[in-house]
């Protein structure tokens, strides 16, 4: 078992950086990745979570979309790297693949979710919008997967939040498989200003590459 809240000593900057650099390997190598959305609510029941049908998921997803979980930058790497991810809400759970499958079906039906009442459509729209770019990067959408540079990763996560401002960059470096950002490593001895300057330097290097190399 590897639990990020327990396995990483947040007070040890060296250990913290080392663990963050290993996160992609940890998530991709895990037999199952479990993401915690928070305590359960009377608004959702076990049947809605277990049955990835049109009716069951359409009732469960609006509640899931209201959770602050979707605002965290760390979940991008968590869900993209995992081969088998499960979202838990109290004692209830739903697989990430079931959510992706449902949203793909609904999205292909002229965004049928927009016809739902506002209290349902808004939170579902939150998840749909989040998936729009992420599923392309993950290769689960109808579009072919794209290579991920620091620039594209920053664009896809620009609205996400983190307690530590440095994690706006460090939370996504594990996703990079193209460009100068490949060589970036998390180092919590650096100030946020230093981290951002390093990121800008990488963006400038990638901009200077020949046009044939710019596939992102």
Residue showing tokens 């693949």? 97
Residues 6+ positions from 212 with CB-CB distance below 8 Å: none
Sites in the chain below the pLDDT cut of 50: 44-55, 110, 140-145, 211-213, 215-216
pTM of the entire predicted model: 0.74
Give the phi and the psi of residue 88 in degrees, each rounded to 5: -110, 135
Q: What pLDDT is recorded for position 130?
A: 63
CA distance to 1, 77, 165, 198, per residue, from 30 (Å)? 9, 13, 27, 31
| Cβ atoms 82, 30 nearer than 8 A | yes
Best CA proximity match to 62, nearest among 117, 103, 114, 121: 121
| Cβ atoms 158, 135 nearer than 8 A | no
Best CA proximity match to 16, nearest among 203, 163, 183: 163
Q: What pLDDT is recorded for position 189?
A: 94
pLDDT digits (tens, 9 = 90+) for 24-64: 888 888 899 988 877 765 554 444 444 344 446 766 777 77
Q: What pLDDT is recorded for position 196?
A: 95
> Please, which residues bridge with residue 92 across strands?
89
Best CA proximity match to 45, nearest among 86, 87, 89: 89
């Amino acid at each position: 078992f590897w639990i990020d809240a327990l396995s990483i000593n947040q007070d040890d900057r060296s250990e913290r950086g080392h663990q963050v650099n290993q996160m992609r390997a940890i998530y991709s190598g895990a037999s199952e990745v479990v993401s915690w959305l928070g305590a359960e609510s009377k608004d959702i029941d076990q049947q809605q979570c277990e049955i990835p049908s049109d009716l069951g998921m359409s009732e469960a997803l609006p509640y899931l979309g209201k959770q602050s979980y979707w605002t965290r930058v760390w979940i991008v790497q968590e869900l993209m790297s995992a081969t088998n991810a499960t979202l838990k809400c109290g004692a209830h759970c739903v697989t990430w693949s079931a959510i992706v499958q449902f949203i793909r079906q609904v999205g292909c039906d002229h965004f049928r979710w927009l016809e739902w009442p506002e209290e349902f459509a808004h939170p579902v729209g939150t998840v749909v919008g989040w998936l729009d770019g992420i599923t392309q990067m993950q290769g689960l959408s109808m579009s072919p997967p794209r290579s991920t540079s620091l620039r594209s990763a920053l664009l896809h996560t620009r609205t996400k939040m983190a307690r530590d401002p440095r994690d706006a960059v460090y939370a996504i470096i594990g996703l990079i498989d193209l460009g100068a950002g490949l060589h970036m490593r998390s180092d919590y001895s650096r100030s946020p200003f230093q981290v951002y300057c390093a990121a800008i330097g990488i963006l400038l290097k990638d901009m200077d590459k020949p046009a044939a190399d710019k596939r992102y």
